[in-house]
Amino acid sequence: MTQLQLVERVLKPAVFIIALIPFAYLLWGFFTGGIGANPVNEFIRETGLWGLRLLLLTLCVTPLRRITGWNPIIKFRRMLGLYAFFYSALHLIAYLIFEAELSLVYVIKDAVYRMYITVGWIGLLPLVPLAVTSTDGMLRRLGGKRWQQLHRLVYVAAVASVGHYLLLVKADLRDPLFYLAVFLLLMLLRLPPVARQLSGLRSSESGRAAKGIR
Ligand code: HEM
């Protein structure tokens, strides 16, 4: 089995199933009361957290590829990004149904008066065009360059999602600060000199390995 076949046939289906586990757990907990005394709040919080985690995992793919030199890892990026959208959409749906009780007036007022909700929308809306244009067909139709430019919206989504978390936490800022630190590290690894250094490290290492130097 080639590495690409291993990814397509084994690793991708495995990641697909693993990423569904939080959803299955939350659904089960929501209906059985297994996720605490306030299942609605817990469902909103956990879907938000998983949306953020998956968004940051999506941003890990490119630096990991540079660090490890393992190119097939790129095959996971789309799936992780779509899962980030999936959990964020569940987060929004739960908010719209249980907090806003499907009132458009509530949603608008909330977005205007509560800063963290405004920023939440800025985190969520860019994920929509990213999800819609995630297919190979859309990539072909837009052309690689335009597609890439559009997909830079992922940074807007990530900044706003971390900002949303920072703004909504009132007392203990440790958790949102942890996600902010991860995000900043991922951005640091993308800076052109750092990215060049990482790619350079790989090529000099493989050159040394090819020459039998340890
Ligand atoms: C329309 C957009 C959004 C709305 C209306 C919204 C609304 C909310 C609400 C009402 C809460 C609960 C606050 C509380 O417990 O006091 C929350 C928490 C949270 N949201 Fe959002 N959100 C949005 C977008 C996002 C996005 C895009 C992400 C990340 C991908 C996200 C991540 C989180 C996180 C991490 C929490 C905190 C969880 C915790 O307390 O442990 N949200 N959001």
User: Which pLDDT tens digit goes with each residue over 27-41?
Assistant: 999 999 899 889 999
Whether pLDDT at 202 is above 80: no
The pTM is what?
Answer: 0.94
Domain ranges of the chain: 3-197
Distance separating alpha carbons of residues 132 and 152, to the nearest angstrom: 14
Nearest C-alpha to atom 12 of ligand 1 is from which residue?
45
Q: What are 53-89's pLDDT values in tens digits?
A: 999 999 999 999 999 999 999 999 999 999 999 999 9
Q: Tell whether ligand 1 has an atom less than 6 A from the beta carbon of residue 95.
A: yes
Determine the distance separating the centroid of ligand 1 and the alpha carbon of 117, expressed in angstroms.
8
Determine the distance separating the centroid of ligand 1 and the alpha carbon of 201, expressed in angstroms.
39
User: Which positions ≥6 away from 146 have C-beta within 8 Å?
Assistant: none
User: Which positions ≥6 away from 19 have C-beta within 8 Å?
Assistant: 54, 79, 80, 83
Whether pLDDT at 214 is above 50: no
Q: Tell whether ligand 1 has an atom less than 6 A from the beta carbon of residue 92.
A: yes
User: Lowest-confidence range among 66-75, 93-102, 105-114, 159-168?
Assistant: 66-75
pLDDT for 213 equals 46
Q: Tell whether ligand 1 has an atom less than 6 A from the beta carbon of residue 120.
A: yes
Q: What are 121-148's pLDDT values in tens digits?
A: 999 999 999 999 999 999 999 999 999 9
